């Protein structure tokens, strides 16, 4: 970067800066931990020399901060996948349960939006199809920030809700399902070749609350990859050109993820065996009645405060999954 010709090639310069940012995201916190450890050691020595409890609170506070920072660094060190550093596309589909499921899908969407806000990620709405009465039938958001995909990839799967239905006049208990798919936003350094003959391109009216332009012009774009049957679409932008580019980006991300999962020997479990968005396929249960519990079926991590979880507090589930995966590897 100190070279006088560094900025002559803008595209390459951006890639180098992105690489440096990724390196610094590991090196800087590591250097900070070393500094905190040195400061804590000095503080303990000062407390011992004082021979009283005047510095006890300072020692405890410094120790707590260092421990929290270390645990955060340890968690980040588990994100070693090729695409873990990437932005993430998160798609939520309502499953079995009708209006209940659409409402549940929107609750999950809100959960991820609140998680993103608490972690300072920028969020863009890529696609949204509202449910008939309430909620969403399908929605896709893009989270922009370091390691968004690495943190959220464990959320892929079917999520099950048990509660007293707000849409049932008899107040009966209902079970609803929604699926979550998380994909990385791949950069230009990863080349994925898709032959034109293998693609079907469709355009459609976006509909929804996007204004007259979106509702009266065919600005939405959908791509279908014929050999795999995988599809991706975008309708959020006013321009068909922008929706076209975004839909193609998502299609490439999906194809890349499938290839990754094949190599990881997880393809059958996550795509074939996931099957219906219904009972028996869920990765996590959210029970609001007759008791309060959220439990992940893979890591066995659980929370007795579903309201807090649905407000975006899912870090415990992410941490437990990553640690379990690290042990298995």
- For the stretch 59-71, pLDDT in tens is 999 999 999 899 8
Query: Which tens digits make up the pLDDT trace of 48-96?
Result: 998 888 899 999 999 999 998 998 888 888 887 778 888 999 999 999 7
Task: Give residue limits of the domains in the chain.
Answer: 6-77, 88-188+264-328, 196-255
Strand 220-225 relative to strand 199-204, pairing:
antiparallel
Distance (Å, whole) CA 232 – CA 221 = 8
Using the structure block, give the residue that is written with the tokens 């391109």.
201
Strand 173-184 relative to strand 157-164, pairing:
antiparallel
Q: Taking the domain 88-188+264-328, which CATH number applies?
A: 3.30.70.1660
The conformational region for residue 109 under phi > 0 = left, psi -120 to 50 = alpha, else beta, is alpha
Two domains, one topology: 88-188+264-328 and 196-255: no
Query: Which tens digits make up the pLDDT trace of 245-295?
Result: 888 888 988 888 787 766 555 544 544 444 455 555 689 999 999 999 999
Q: What is the pTM of this model?
A: 0.72
User: At 139, is the pLDDT very low, low, confident or very high (cuts 50, 70, 90)?
Assistant: very high
- Concatenated DSSP letters of 109-156: HHHHHHHHHHTT-EEEEEEEEE-SSSSEEEEEEEEESTTHHHHHGGG-
Distance (Å, whole) CA 113 – CA 90 = 10
Is there a contact between 32 and 73 (Cβ–Cβ < 8 Å)?
no
Distance (Å, whole) CA 263 – CA 81 = 13
Residue with the bigger pLDDT between 168 and 160: it is: 160
Instruction: Give me the phi and psi of 92, to 5 degrees please.
Output: -115, 130
Annotation: CATH topology of 196-255: Double Stranded RNA Binding Domain (3.30.160)
């Amino acid at each position: 970067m100190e070279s006088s010709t560094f900025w002559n090639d803008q595209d390459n310069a951006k890639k180098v800066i992105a690489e440096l940012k990724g390196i610094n995201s590991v090196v800087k916190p590591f250097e900070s931990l070393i500094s905190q450890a040195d400061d804590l050691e000095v503080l303990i020595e000062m407390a011992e020399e004082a021979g009283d409890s005047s510095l006890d609170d300072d020692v405890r506070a410094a120790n707590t901060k260092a421990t929290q920072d270390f645990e955060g660094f340890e968690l980040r060190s588990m994100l070693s996948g090729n695409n873990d550093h990437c932005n993430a596309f998160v798609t939520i589909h309502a499953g079995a349960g009708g209006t209940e499921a659409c409402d549940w899908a929107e609750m999950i969407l809100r959960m991820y939006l609140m998680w993103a806000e608490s972690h300072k990620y920028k969020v863009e709405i890529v696609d949204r199809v509202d449910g008939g009465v309430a909620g969403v039938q399908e929605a896709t958001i893009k989270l922009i920030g370091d390691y968004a995909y690495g943190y959220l990839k464990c959320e892929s799967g079917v999520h099950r809700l048990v509660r007293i239905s707000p849409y049932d006049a008899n107040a009966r208990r209902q079970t609803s399902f929604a699926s979550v798919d998380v994909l990385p936003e791949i950069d230009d350094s990863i080349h994925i070749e898709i032959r034109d003959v293998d693609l079907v391109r469709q355009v459609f009216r976006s509909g929804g609350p996007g204004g007259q332009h979106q509702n009266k012009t065919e600005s939405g774009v959908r791509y279908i990859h014929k050999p795999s049957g995988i599809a991706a679409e975008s309708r959020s932008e006013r321009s068909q050109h922008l929706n076209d580019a975004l839909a193609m980006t998502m299609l490439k991300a999906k194809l890349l993820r499938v290839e990754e999962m094949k190599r990881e020997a997880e393809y059958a479990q996550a795509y074939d065996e996931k099957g219906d968005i219904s009972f028996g396929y869920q990765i996590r249960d959210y029970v609001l009645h007759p008791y309060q519990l959220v439990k992940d079926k893979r890591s066995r991590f659980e929370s007795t405060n579903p309201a807090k979880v649905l407000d975006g507090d899912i870090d415990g589930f992410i941490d437990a999954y990553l640690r379990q995966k690290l042990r298995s590897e």
